[in-house]
Amino acid sequence: MPKLIDFPLIFTNIPRLLKALPVTLEITFFAMIFGLILGLLLAVIKINKIPVLSQVSAVFVSFIRGTPLLVQLYISYYAVPILLKYINYYNHTNFNVNAVPALLFVLIAFSLNEAAYNSENIRAALLSVDRGEIEAAQSLGMTKWQVLKRVTIPNATVVALPTLGNAFIGLMKNTSLAFVASVVDMTAQGQILAGSNYRYFEVYLSLAIIYWIMTIITEQILKLLEKRLTIFQKATQVVAPASTRRFWFSQRLEAPVHDQHSTSHEAVQSPNRI
Amino acid sequence: MINIQHLTKQFNHQTVFEDLNLQIDTGEVVGIIGPSGAGKSTLLRCLNLLETPDAGSIQINDQKFVAPKISDRDKIKFRQETSMVFQQFNLFRQKTVLGNVTEGLITVQKRSKAEAETIARAQIEAVGLTDRIDYYPQQLSGGQKQRVGIARSLAMQPNILLLDEPTSALDTELVDEVLTTIQQVVETQKNLTVIIISHELSFIRDVATRIVVFDVGGIVEQGTPTEIFTTPKKERTKQFLQRYQRQALTS
Ligand SMILES: Nc1ncnc2c1ncn2[C@@H]1O[C@H](COP(=O)(O)OP(=O)(O)OP(=O)(O)O)[C@@H](O)[C@H]1O
Ligand SMILES: [Mg+2]
């Protein structure tokens, strides 16, 4: 009888699977960035009740939330070629449908999906920003855009970070659906591997381990990021030196270092989350 | 110089004041007093265009607003004439004391970071908070927060300082430090026009050059502190002052 489970294979699979990690990360990061930008746009449209656009975006959000991601991926996979054929036909252009990378279909589907889900979170976070701070910025003479950039977004980020972080983790795992558009991400790579030795169970265990570790790492990064962004709430906390605090999402908060005693006689208020 | 003419402001068709006229010269210190809900804050917010008046005009030096419309660009120029100190401080919570004061200098006035910090440090020194310069608002007492608010406003070098009940959100023992700061500002900056709404009547009496009494509908009367506090002409002013004296005695 052959071995029921090939334990070493679970681990020797991992380096081979990791070859496709860049594809997984690429989809995750691009979809998140586009999802955030478009999500912010949708949120601003909804908050300002911009006619026509806000109705269109409401239908869009409802559609995305009301349909399975897998179905959205298939729609994107088939819609883009049809769209190109249309453009070719009416503009007499000659785009090659087959030359469009499969990754594009996947990116479009994931980005739109993220945008729809993020837009509601972003909207709630924007609305939670203290009116008084916004008025202070306005009365200093800031333009609408400056107020958004300097006050509203930084404050909303702190509020939205936990939910956006979860969305990011969810997206990272959902990228495993990319195989339906014949993109070779980690999961697809696993299927290819297993196709040659029929060790499906081992390969899916290897994949599970990788995704799990990636999630744990992401959670830790998010925790650090949250700590960094909420530094202003920690009244007497000693802050790590600047060199260990440099993140891709760095904000221009120069953090002071306090010892416990210097503020002990101060009326320090309890941290109030916005 | 401020010239308010025929100013009207409504909220949802409810008139707060109508056909309000008020002229204020450069360097005047105007105290606005009056009962709650009279529209004092609304008038002050109109001067900063945080509220848009429905009719009338406001001229502040070279900037003029004629109701009901103003372009975004003109609005920003208009706002730079004045600077507002808020009842609830409204500090930028994510920024340190220094960051709060440099924010407008860098973002709005486009000064370099170094230049902004020099100005800010001097201003923070003036309100006596140099040892708290790296603190976040959360780590400050109410009185300290309001002094930062004042420093933030003054750093912008406005022609007009607007203060809307700057001490009414403070515990009693913290009121004096803020009033002292305001008094120092008034004494040292003779060209600064100050408009202050306050229920600290004895302070207003000391510091103001003119008192404007407000009640629902608009201005009741105005005059020097002595005129208003010792020989008020209007019945509504008398009632208001009596009510206040009674409250002061019982508290
Ligand atoms: N944003 C708003 N929307 C609707 N009504 C408002 C708004 N702001 C103020 N009001 C109304 O306008 C009137 C004047 O309010 P305002 O805040 O100017 O009074 P005030 O004299 O500053 O009173 P207080 O001493 O209590 O601060 C009140 O009846 C108030 O309810
Ligand atoms: Mg008021």
Candidate from A117-126, A181-190, B43-52 with smallest mean pLDDT: A181-190
The pLDDT assigned to A250 comes to 39
Q: How many residues does chain B have?
A: 251
Distances B224 to A223, B27, B33, B244 between C-alpha atoms, Å: 59, 15, 13, 19
Work out the average pLDDT over B21-36. Answer: 93
Question: What is the model's pLDDT at position A175?
Answer: 93
Q: Which of B8, B13, B16 to mutate to test the pocket of ligand 1 (most atoms within 8 A of CB)?
A: B16
Instruction: Provide the pLDDT for residue A245.
Output: 39
Domain shared by B98 and B20, yes or no: yes
β-bridge partners, B9: B17
Considering the four listed CATH numbers 3.20.20.80, 1.10.3720.10, 3.40.190.10, 3.40.30.10, the one that applies to the domain covering A7-239 is 1.10.3720.10
Q: What is the pLDDT of residue B137?
A: 94
Q: Is the CB of B149 under 6 A from ligand 1?
A: no
Q: Using DSSP, state whether A9 is helix, strand or coil.
A: helix
Taking an 8 Å Cβ-Cβ cutoff, which residues of chain B contact chain A? 48, 50, 72, 76-77, 79-80, 82-84, 86, 88-96, 99, 103-104, 107-108, 134-142, 152, 156
Residue A222 has pLDDT above 70, yes or no: yes
pLDDT at A253 over 60: no
Q: What are B83-130's pLDDT values in tens digits?
A: 999 999 999 999 999 999 999 999 999 999 999 999 999 999 999 999
In the sheet that holds B63-66, the strands lie side by side as: B14-24, B2-11, B55-60, B63-66
Out of B96, B108, B152, closest to residue A141 by CB: B108
Cα–Cα dist A181/A192, whole Å: 15
Residue B18 lies in a domain: yes
pLDDT score at A257: 40
Query: pLDDT tens across A53-102, in order?
Result: 999 999 999 999 999 999 999 998 888 788 888 888 888 887 777 777 88
- Same domain for B229 and B192: no
**Among A212, A180, A207, A54, which Cα is nearest to A119's?**
A54
**Dihedral angle sign, alpha carbons of residues A6, A11, A16, A22:** positive
What secondary structure does DSSP assign to A165-202, as a single string? Answer: HHHHHHHHHHGGGGGGGT---HHHHHHHHHHHH--HHH
| Position B160 in a domain | yes
How far is Cα B92 from Cα B245, in angstroms, rounded to an integer? Answer: 37
What confidence score (pLDDT) does residue A266 get? 37
Between chains, do B90 and A150 touch, taking CB under 8 Å as contact?
no
**Which residue of chain A is at minimal alpha-carbon distance from B46?**
A139
- Rounded to 5 degrees, what are φ and ψ at B70? -150, 140
Kindly tell me if the per-residue pLDDT of B218 is higher than 60: yes
Q: Does B122 share its domain with B244?
A: no
Contact A114, A32 (CB under 8 A): yes
Do B27 and B191 form a contact (C-beta atoms < 8 A)?
Answer: yes
For residue range A141-185, list pLDDT tens digits in order: 999 999 999 999 999 999 999 999 999 999 999 999 988 888 889
Number of domains in chain B: 2
How far, CA to CA in Å, does A270 sit from each of A161, B95, B168, B237? 21, 17, 21, 41
Contact yes or no for B156/B105 (Cβ under 8 A)? yes
In this structure, the answer to whether residues B124 and B243 fall within a common structural domain is: no
Q: Please tell me the number of the ligand nearest to residue B199's CA.
A: 1
Confidence of residue A251 (pLDDT cuts 50, 70, 90): very low
**From ligand 2's centre to the CA of B71, what distance in Å?**
27
Q: Quick one: tokens of A69?
A: 């991601």
Residue B63: the pLDDT is 86
Nearest-Cα distance to chain A for B127, in Å, is 17
> In terms of Cα–Cα distance, which of B151, B130, B101, B136 is closest to A256?
B136
Mean pLDDT in residue range A14-29:
93
pLDDT for res A235: 57
Residues of B in contact with A264 (CB under 8 A): none
pLDDT, averaged across chain B:
91
Residue A223 clears pLDDT 50, i.e. is over it:
yes
Q: What is the spatial distance between Cα A145 and Cα A238, in angstroms, rounded to a whole number?
A: 34
- Quick one: tokens of A26? 């690429």
Q: Which of B15, B18, B41 to mutate to test the pocket of ligand 1 (most atoms within 8 A of CB)?
A: B41
> What confidence category does residue A270 fall into, taking pLDDT thresholds of 50, 70 and 90?
very low
Q: What is the pLDDT of residue B28?
A: 93
Cβ contacts (< 8 Å) between A151 and chain B: which residues? Answer: 92
ipTM for the assembly = 0.92
What would the DSSP string read from start to end of B157-214?
A: --SEEEEESTTTTS-HHHHHHHHHHHHHHHHH-TT-EEEEE-S-HHHHHHH-SEEEEE
A129 φ/ψ angles, rounded to the nearest 5 degrees? -70, 135
Percent of chain A at pLDDT > 90 equals: 60
Helix (H), strand (E) at residue B10: strand B2-11
Please say if the pLDDT value at position B155 is more than 70.
yes
> Is residue B186 domain-shared with residue B230, that is, in the same domain?
no
Q: Is the model's pLDDT at A240 over the cut of 60?
A: no
Q: What residues contact A163, with CB distance under 8 A and at least 6 apart? A: A121
- A73 contact partners, CB below 8 Å, separation of at least 6: A105, A106, A109, A177, A178, A180, A181
Its domain, for residue B28, covers 2-201
pLDDT given at position B42 = 95
- B181 is a domain residue: yes
| Pairwise CA distance, residues A254 & A242, whole Å | 9
Determine the pLDDT at residue B171: 87
Rounded to two decimals, the pTM is 0.81
CA distances from A112 to A108, A115, A157, A160 (A): 6, 5, 20, 19
Residue B215 lies inside a defined structural domain of this protein? no
CA B153/CA A140 separation, integer angstroms: 8
Q: List chain B residues with CB under 8 Å of A138.
A: 50, 79
Instruction: Write a three-state SS string for A237-259.
Output: CCCCCHHHHCCCCCCCCCCCCCC
Q: Of ligand 1's atoms, which has the minimum distance to the CA of residue B44?
A: 18
Residue of A nearest to B101 (CA): A140
pLDDT at A264 over 70: no
Residues B224 and B112 in one domain: no
- Domain limits, chain A: 7-239, 240-274
Q: Is B218 in the pocket of ligand 1 (CB under 6 A)?
A: no
Asked if the structure places residue B211 within a domain, the reply is: no
Q: Report pLDDT for A269.
A: 39
Q: Are A122 and A37 in contact (CB under 8 A)?
A: no
On the question of pLDDT at B141 being above 70, the answer is yes
Distance CA B155, CA B127 (A): 11
Please check whether residue B209 lies inside any domain of the structure. no
pLDDT score of A164: 94
CATH number for the domain spanning B89: value is 3.40.50.300
